[in-house]
A and B are shown apart, each in its own frame.
Chain A
Amino acid sequence: MFKTIKSNFATADVEVKRQDLYKVVIKYDRLSALIDFLYNNYTYKILNAITCTDWIEEGHFALTYLITTEDRSNTFMIQTLVGREDTKVESFSKKFKQAQIMERDLHEMYGIDFIGNDNLKELSLENWVHTPPLRREFDTLEFVNEHLTFREGREDNVDVKAETKRLRALKKAQKEADKKAKEAADASALKENEDGK
């Protein structure tokens, strides 16, 4: 099986992660063919999940399809890389009924368009007009600071590192001042002694 997959579909070897988990990275245009291949020739008949990871530094989404055998003893992770902007991906909702809802979820969270999925309405958000929240460029804390307020009364927080540094400097200065004073005192005492002589 691995050999056929490697020669026909994959860009790299099939990785055996665990006894029950294989992973393969393929080009996007071979995705549908590989899923069909596994569906028809083996018992990989259940679509378990579709997930998406945003690799913003490398400029692509990693879409991962998780397909399980009928007896649930093995899962295949099929990963494919697609572009980040105006992503259009073919929908699997005709082949797997449950893909419909998973794709709806991803569409909402990443803004990926699934062509052929007839219901991509908002799933868990309501009247959302900002960047799709799970994209990396969306900063949730910034959004919160912009739109909502926190409770007051916590402004007396002290920056501990700066405070420690300040106290240490203070102590050091104190010590030096002490030292200087002592030296001065010693010197004057010496002088007095000399004068006394």
Chain B
Amino acid sequence: MKWSVDLKGTLSPLSILGAFFQKPNTIAYPAVKKESVVGYRGFHTNVLADCIGCANCQDVCMNDAIDMIKVDAEYNEKNSSQCIPRIDYGRCCWCSLCTDVCPPDSLKLEEDYLNVTNNANDFLYMPKDK
């Protein structure tokens, strides 16, 4: 490696010092939260009054993440199997194919996505009813 005087190359990087006078772009996470985006693919929600228990979501899921289970709840009277989906978040990839194929459009994704736990068995998720 040979050394040559390169005045521009030596001085121009110093322009980075200008950043001292700029506002930081940091999002101070736990206190300041970024605005959630409309249509973000987060947790599932399922309107029980609309769900017809057709298991289309289970069929399209390539990760085998959806179980159709019976719970103690009031079903839609059109719900022919009286089952509703439960999602295993140890499998899900949030591709939202399940919401695309849902005939009554009851399964949806919401903006919330935070789930941190030290127990790996906490990842079976019952979609919120809303």
* A interface residues with partner B (beta carbon < 8 Å): 151, 153-154, 156-158, 160-161, 163-164, 167-168
> Which A residues lie within 8 Å of B50 (CB)?
none
A163 partner, pick from B58, B67, B83, B88, beta carbons under 8 A: B83
Query: By the criterion CB–CB under 8 Å, are A160 and B69 in contact?
Result: no
Contacts of A154 in B (CB 8 A): 67, 88, 124
10 nearest CB pairs, A to B: A160-B55, A157-B67, A164-B81, A163-B81, A160-B81, A164-B80, A160-B68, A158-B83, A156-B69, A158-B68
CA A122 to CA B96, docked complex, whole Å: 37
Q: Count the B residues whose beta carbon is within 8 Å of the partner chain — how many?
A: 17
Complex contact A158–B81 (CB within 8 A): yes
- Is B32 part of the contact surface with A, judged by Cβ < 8 Å? no
A163-B82, A164-B80 are known contacts; what are 4 more A-B pairs with Cβ within 8 Å? Answer: A156-B69, A160-B54, A160-B81, A167-B80
Return A152 CB to nearest CB of chain B, in Å: 8
Q: Find chain A residues with CB under 8 A from B82 CB.
A: 163, 167
A-B residue pair count with CB separations less than 8 angstroms: 40
Contact indicator A151/B55 (Cβ below 8 Å)? no
Looking across the interface, which residue of chain A has its beta carbon closest to that of B55?
A160
B83: nearest chain-A partner, CB-CB: A158
Chain B nearest CB, measured from A134 CB (Å): 19
B81 touches A167 (CB 8 A): yes
- Which residues from A are CB-within-8-Å of B10? none
Most buried by A among B69, B80, B120: B80
